[in-house]
Amino acid sequence: MKRSPLKRKTPLKRGTSQLKRTPLKRGESQLKRSPLNRGDSELKRSPLKKESAKHKARREEAREWRKSRTEGSSCWICGTSEKKRKHPIREHNNICVHEIAGAWGANRQKAIDKGHSTIVCCWKCNLDLEDRSVWPEARQLAVILKHAPDDYDLVAHNSLVNDNAPNRVTQCEVLDFMPSVE
């Protein structure tokens, strides 16, 4: 590496450190590692639960409602059903319930059995619905308005997601997406 032709006005003083360094002994005792105490620990290592007991109970409560919602139904987005399959990958044709309120967390748990916040769709469309840039919340609510007008309740959906924002999605926004929903 080439050195710079510039010179410092105040030269660095090398080797005048005030810190004393203790030399390491090269004996075998310092190089050995101390053994780990594996059996004496009071903590027991067990795998984390994938789902809490509270969420599991909530899912069990909603199971019958969700099953009745999907039985004999077709996808509200693309129209695929058990009899009329549209996607080449077989699993993508399975019908499920999509929660508009959120993919994870408290809002999903609240919306798990609410008709005003769920859409019946195939697995392929369920993956597409997660992209909020293509499927904003107002467009998803327009799908509910078209396919299940009895379940459509904008006020209930807004209060489910956030009680402090009653106008987070407005009726005008939902109606603007109605022509794009087929």
Q: Which pTM does this prediction carry? A: 0.69
pLDDT at 22 > cutoff 70? no
Task: Give the residue extent of every domain in the chain.
Answer: 53-180
User: What does the pLDDT look like over 87-119, one tens digit per residue?
Assistant: 888 888 999 999 998 766 778 888 888 999 999
Q: Which two tokens stand for residue 49?
A: 């639960």
Q: What distance in Å separates the CA atoms of residue 134 and residue 60, rounded to the nearest whole number?
A: 32
The answer to whether the CB of 157 falls within 8 A of the CB of 101 is yes
pLDDT band for 65, please (50, 70, 90 cuts): very high
